Amino acid sequence: MKIGLDIMGGDFAPKATVLGAIEAAKILPEGQQLVLIGDKDVALSILQENNFSAENFEFVHTTEVIGMGEHPAKAVIKKPGSSISVGFQLLKDGGIDAFSSAGNTGAMLVGSVLSVKTIEGVIRPAMSTNVPKLTGGFGILVDVGANADCKPEYLPQFGVLGSLFAESVYGMVSPRVSLLNIGEEEEKGNALCQAVYPLMKENKNFNFVGNIEGRDLFSDHADVYVTDGFTGNVALKMAESFYVISLKKQIKDEFFARFNYEQYGGSPILGINAPVVVGHGISSPEAIKNMVLLSRDMAQSGLVEKIKNAFQ
Amino acid sequence: MKIGLDIMGGDFAPKATVLGAIEAAKILPEGQQLVLIGDKDVALSILQENNFSAENFEFVHTTEVIGMGEHPAKAVIKKPGSSISVGFQLLKDGGIDAFSSAGNTGAMLVGSVLSVKTIEGVIRPAMSTNVPKLTGGFGILVDVGANADCKPEYLPQFGVLGSLFAESVYGMVSPRVSLLNIGEEEEKGNALCQAVYPLMKENKNFNFVGNIEGRDLFSDHADVYVTDGFTGNVALKMAESFYVISLKKQIKDEFFARFNYEQYGGSPILGINAPVVVGHGISSPEAIKNMVLLSRDMAQSGLVEKIKNAFQ
Distance from CA of B142 to the nearest CA of A (A): 15
Say what percent of chain B tops pLDDT 70.
100
Kindly indicate the confidence band of residue B257, based on its pLDDT and cuts at 50, 70 and 90: confident
The verdict on A233 and A250 lying in the same domain is yes
Q: Is A55 within 8 Å of chain B by CB?
A: no
Q: Which amino acid is at B137?
A: G
Average pLDDT of B88-109? 97
Question: How long a stretch of residues is chain A?
Answer: 312
Is A201 inside a domain boundary? yes
- Strand A126-132 relative to strand A267-270: parallel, antiparallel, unpaired? antiparallel
Is B48 inside a domain boundary? yes
Is A114 inside a domain boundary? yes
Is A307 inside a domain boundary? no
Cβ atoms B220, B133 nearer than 8 A: yes
Report the complex ipTM: 0.95
Residue of A nearest to B134 (CA): A245
Q: Is A217 within 8 Å of chain B by CB?
A: yes
Chain A and chain B share a number of CB contacts under 8 A equal to 110
Cβ atoms B143, B232 nearer than 8 A: yes
Q: Is B180 within 8 Å of chain A by CB?
A: yes
Q: What domain range includes position B154?
A: 123-270
Give the total number of structural domains in chain B.
2
For B214, the closest of A218, A235, A248 (CB atoms) is A235
Q: What is the DSSP string of A84-105?
A: HHHHHHHHHHTS-SEEEESS-H
**The pLDDT of residue B196 is above 90:** yes
Rounded distance, CA B233 to CA B173, Å? 26
The verdict on A144 and A175 lying in the same domain is yes
The verdict on A288 and A262 lying in the same domain is no
For A255, the closest of B219, B230, B249 (CB atoms) is B249
- In a mutagenesis test of the A interface, which of B109, B124, B184, B230 is the best target, namely the one with the most A β-carbons within 10 Å? B230
What letter would DSSP give residue B29?
Answer: P
3-state secondary structure of A235: helix
- Position B116 scores a pLDDT of 97
Cβ atoms B299, B272 nearer than 8 A: no
Instruction: Say if residue A207 is exposed, middle or buried (CB neighbours under 10 Å; 0-12, 13-18, 19+).
Output: middle
User: Residue B34 is inside which H or E element, if any?
Assistant: strand B33-38
Distance from CA of A124 to the nearest CA of B (A): 15
Is A311 inside a domain boundary? no
Cβ atoms A301, A169 nearer than 8 A: yes
**The pLDDT of residue B87 is above 90:** yes
The verdict on B138 and B114 lying in the same domain is no
- Chain A residues closer than 8 Å to B180 by CB: 234
B251:A255 CB<8 A: no
Query: In chain A, what is the straight-line distance between the N-terminal and C-terminal CA atoms, in Å?
Result: 26
Q: pLDDT tens across A176-231, in order?
A: 999 999 999 999 999 999 999 999 999 999 999 999 999 999 999 999 999 999 99
B182:A230 CB<8 A: yes
CATH number reported for the structural domain that contains residue B88 in this entry: 3.40.718.10
The verdict on A129 and A74 lying in the same domain is no
Kindly indicate the confidence band of residue B83, based on its pLDDT and cuts at 50, 70 and 90: very high
Q: pLDDT tens across B123-143, in order?
A: 999 999 999 999 999 999 999
Average pLDDT of B256-279? 94
Rounded distance, CA A261 to CA A239, Å? 10
Q: Is A229 within 8 Å of chain B by CB?
A: yes
Q: What is the DSSP string of A124-165?
A: S-EEEEEEE-TTSSEEEEE-SSS-SS--TTHHHHHHHHHHHH
Of A74, A59, A53, nearest in space to A8 by CA: A59
The verdict on B248 and B295 lying in the same domain is no
Q: Is B189 within 8 Å of chain A by CB?
A: yes
The verdict on B101 and B141 lying in the same domain is no
Average pLDDT of B55-82? 94
Residue spans of alpha helices (H) in chain B: 15-27, 40-49, 72-78, 83-93, 105-114, 154-170, 191-202, 229-248, 254-257, 285-300, 303-310
- Chain B residues closer than 8 Å to A214 by CB: 233-238, 240-241
* Torsion angles phi and psi, residue B224, rounded to 5: -130, 130
Rounded to the nearest angstrom, the gap between the alpha carbon of residue B123 and the centroid of all alpha carbons in its chain is: 18
Q: What is the CB neighbour count within 10 angstroms for residue B186?
A: 15
The verdict on B31 and B151 lying in the same domain is no
- Position A91 scores a pLDDT of 98
- In a mutagenesis test of the B interface, which of A233, A250, A259 is the best target, namely the one with the most B β-carbons within 10 Å? A233
- SS3 assignment for B164-227: HHHHHHHCCCCCEEEEECCCCCCCCCCHHHHHHHHHHHHCCCCEEEEEECHHHCCCCCCCEEEC
Is A133 inside a domain boundary? yes
Is B255 inside a domain boundary? yes
- Chain B residues closer than 8 Å to A131 by CB: none
Q: How many angstroms separate the Cα of A167 from the Cα of each of A108, A170, A174, A260?
A: 24, 6, 7, 22
Say what percent of chain B tops pLDDT 90.
90
Is B226 inside a domain boundary? yes
The verdict on A103 and A131 lying in the same domain is no
The verdict on A3 and A86 lying in the same domain is yes
Half-sphere exposure of B49 (CA within 13 A, CB side): 9
Residue of A nearest to B184 (CA): A69
Kindly indicate the confidence band of residue B19, based on its pLDDT and cuts at 50, 70 and 90: very high
The verdict on B193 and B174 lying in the same domain is yes
- Strand B224-226 relative to strand B276-278: parallel, antiparallel, unpaired? unpaired
* Torsion angles phi and psi, residue B3, rounded to 5: -110, 110
Q: Is B282 within 8 Å of chain A by CB?
A: no
In the predicted model, residues of chain A with pLDDT beneath 50 are: none
The verdict on B160 and B53 lying in the same domain is no
